């Protein structure tokens, strides 16, 4: 017996209702699942923000063009800033040391062009107060809202670098002392022994020659003392943490040249100091850096003949203090220039007036400049003179 139209209509409505209820159940389950995912995501974001903000390491998120999108409090403090707004939105190259900008371009190339998932390197950054520090950088590539971003961790390794440099200087000093004892002190000691033996043997020692022998002994003792002083000075650089202070570089140089003007006058050499109209301030340890100026001027006067000229020039170059010491002396052979800053360098020579050298002067000069965060180099041609450059 067939059902009536009314019953068929009722059955259809019931079926439709059942389908609607089923769909509502599906939608409710989907909404519950979506809410659960959203809650989990929010919880993960809270955990991320907690870890990110309270991490003892510097943390930042950077975009493919190296803009800092987000920075934590540790990174803000590392850069000597006070608020995240002083860091976020800025380009990371704003904080990169000029000599190490290529490190960040390398990171950009590896992460976003070659899609290497992570990259680690050591680099140098400049704080807001213009001081610099070493750090290790580790960056991971990740996706967020369809973007590829870099999650970057910075570890301040300045203390580690300083310790490493200090240990290296200590090792160098120990090596220098061994070299000094094994080689360089032998000569003056042998001279003293020989001259003492001659003084004891009357047959080879007429009274007229006694003053000459004593003068030679005194000269040998002075050579040995000078060597020992230089080595002890290197040890002092290792043992003492360099305390620097903002220094009027113009006035500092004028004072340093006072003692050398008389020497230049006696040698018949013109000594000129060229200072900029504005005061150049540099972060120096005046006592240690005076040794740098003294060593460079002593060398310039030692190898410049009478009638020559030595010019000490100060300027600001690319935001840094640049000191140059230029002479019109005998110059340095091209083959020796690569070793001019070596300990007991083969480039060490007797001065034009017979002045002796320990072979440590320019090595010490380079060490002091490096302790000041600076760079020293030279340009020279034989018979045309030498110029030393220092950037601080």
Average of pLDDT values for 351-362?
A: 65
- Stronger pLDDT, 186 or 329, i.e. the higher one: 329
- Stronger pLDDT, 282 or 198, i.e. the higher one: 282
Average of pLDDT values for 298-305?
A: 92
Can you read off the two tokens belonging to residue 221?
Answer: 């003792």
For residues 217 and 211, the answer to whether their CB atoms sit within 8 Å is: no
State the alpha helices, DSSP H only, in 180-285.
Answer: 186-200, 210-239, 249-267
55-156 fold? Beta-Lactamase (3.30.450)
From residue 241, how far is each of 96, 132, 135, 228 by CA, in Å?
A: 26, 17, 20, 21
Q: Does domain 243-392 have CATH number 3.30.565.10?
A: yes
pLDDT above 60 for 213 = yes
For residues 132 and 392, the answer to whether their CB atoms sit within 8 Å is: no
Collapsed DSSP state (helix, strand, coil) of residue 376: strand
Please give the pLDDT value at position 51. Answer: 61
Q: What is the pTM of this model?
A: 0.54
Can you read off the two tokens belonging to residue 272?
Answer: 């000129």
For residues 108 and 139, the answer to whether their CB atoms sit within 8 Å is: no
Please give the pLDDT value at position 206. Answer: 64
pLDDT above 70 for 345 = no
pLDDT above 80 for 166 = no
Collapsed DSSP state (helix, strand, coil) of residue 223: helix
Please give the pLDDT value at position 93. Answer: 93
- Stronger pLDDT, 348 or 362, i.e. the higher one: 362
Convert the pLDDT of each residue in 258-282 to its tens digit.
889 988 999 999 999 999 999 999 9
Task: Tell me the CATH number for domain 159-241.
Answer: 1.10.287
For residues 37 and 131, the answer to whether their CB atoms sit within 8 Å is: no
Beta bridge partner(s), residue 321: 316
- Of 238, 280, 273, the C-alpha closest to 255 is 273
For residues 299 and 248, the answer to whether their CB atoms sit within 8 Å is: no
Beta pairing class for 309-317 and 270-274? parallel
- Of 186, 189, 194, the C-alpha closest to 213 is 194
- Of 242, 228, 239, 183, the C-alpha closest to 360 is 228
CB atoms within 10 A of CB 231: 23
Cα angle 327, 328, 334; round to 5: 85
Gap between the Cα atoms of 302 and 306, Å rounded: 10
From residue 174, how far is each of 39, 75, 231, 369 by CA, in Å?
A: 63, 38, 9, 20
Average of pLDDT values for 199-207?
A: 64
Convert the pLDDT of each residue in 19-32 to its tens digit.
888 888 887 887 87
For the stretch 126-130, contacts whose Cβ atoms lie closer than 8 Å and that sit 24 or more positions apart, written own/partner, are: 126/95, 126/96, 126/97, 127/78, 127/79, 127/80, 127/95, 128/79, 128/80, 128/81, 128/86, 129/80
Ranges assigned E (strand) in the chain:
58-62, 68-71, 118-126, 132-144, 147-156, 245-248, 270-274, 281-284, 309-317, 320-327, 375-381, 385-391
Convert the pLDDT of each residue in 228-261 to its tens digit.
777 777 766 754 567 889 999 999 999 999 889 9
- Stronger pLDDT, 204 or 291, i.e. the higher one: 291
pLDDT above 80 for 203 = no
Upper half-sphere CA count for residue 235 (Cβ side, 13 Å): 10
Chain centroid offset of residue 273 CA: 28
pLDDT above 90 for 311 = yes
Please give the pLDDT value at position 225. Answer: 76
Gap between the Cα atoms of 225 and 298, Å rounded: 18
Please give the pLDDT value at position 137. Answer: 93
Gap between the Cα atoms of 237 and 365, Å rounded: 11
pLDDT above 80 for 37 = no
**Highest-confidence range of 20-24, 43-47, 183-187, 310-314, by mean pLDDT?**
310-314
């Amino acid at each position: 017996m067939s059902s009536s139209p009314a019953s068929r209509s009722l059955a259809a409505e019931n079926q439709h209702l059942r389908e609607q209820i089923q769909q509502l159940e599906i939608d409710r389950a989907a909404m519950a699942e979506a809410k659960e995912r959203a809650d989990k995501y929010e919880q993960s974001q809270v955990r991320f923000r907690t870890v990110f903000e309270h991490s003892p390491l510097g943390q930042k998120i950077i975009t493919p063009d190296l803009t800092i999108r987000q920075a934590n409090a540790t990174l803000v403090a590392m850069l000597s800033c006070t608020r995240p707004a002083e860091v976020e939105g800025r380009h990371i190259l704003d904080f990169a040391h000029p000599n190490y900008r290529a490190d960040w371009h390398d990171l950009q190339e590896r992460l976003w062009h070659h899609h290497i998932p992570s990259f680690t390197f050591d680099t140098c950054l400049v704080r807001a107060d213009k001081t610099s520090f070493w750090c290790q950088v580790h960056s991971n590539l990740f996706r967020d809202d369809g973007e590829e971003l870099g999650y970057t961790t910075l570890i301040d390794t300045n203390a580690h670098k300083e310790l490493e440099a200090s240990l290296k200087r200590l090792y160098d000093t120990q090596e220098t002392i061994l070299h000094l004892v094994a080689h360089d002190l032998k000569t003056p000691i042998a001279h003293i022994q020989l001259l003492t033996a001659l003084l004891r043997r009357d047959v080879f020692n007429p009274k007229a020659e006694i003053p000459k022998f004593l003068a030679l002994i005194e000269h040998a003792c002075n050579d040995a003392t000078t060597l020992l002083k230089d080595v002890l000075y290197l040890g002092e650089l290792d043992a003492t943490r360099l305390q620097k202070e903002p220094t009027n570089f113009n006035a500092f140089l004028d004072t340093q040249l006072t003692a050398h003007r008389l020497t230049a006058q006696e040698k018949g050499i013109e000594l000129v100091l060229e200072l900029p109209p504005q005061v150049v301030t540099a972060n120096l340890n005046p006592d240690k850096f005076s040794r740098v100026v003294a060593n460079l001027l002593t060398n310039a006067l030692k190898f410049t003949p009478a009638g020559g000229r030595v010019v000490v020039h100060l300027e600001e170059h690319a935001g840094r203090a640049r000191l140059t010491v230029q002479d019109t002396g005998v110059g340095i052979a091209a083959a020796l220039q690569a070793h001019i800053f070596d300990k007991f360098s083969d480039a060490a020579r007797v001065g034009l007036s017979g002045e002796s050298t320990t072979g440590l002067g320019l090595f010490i000069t380079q060490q002091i400049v490096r302790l000041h965060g600076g760079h020293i180099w030279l340009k020279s041609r034989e018979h045309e003179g030498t110029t030393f450059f220092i950037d601080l």
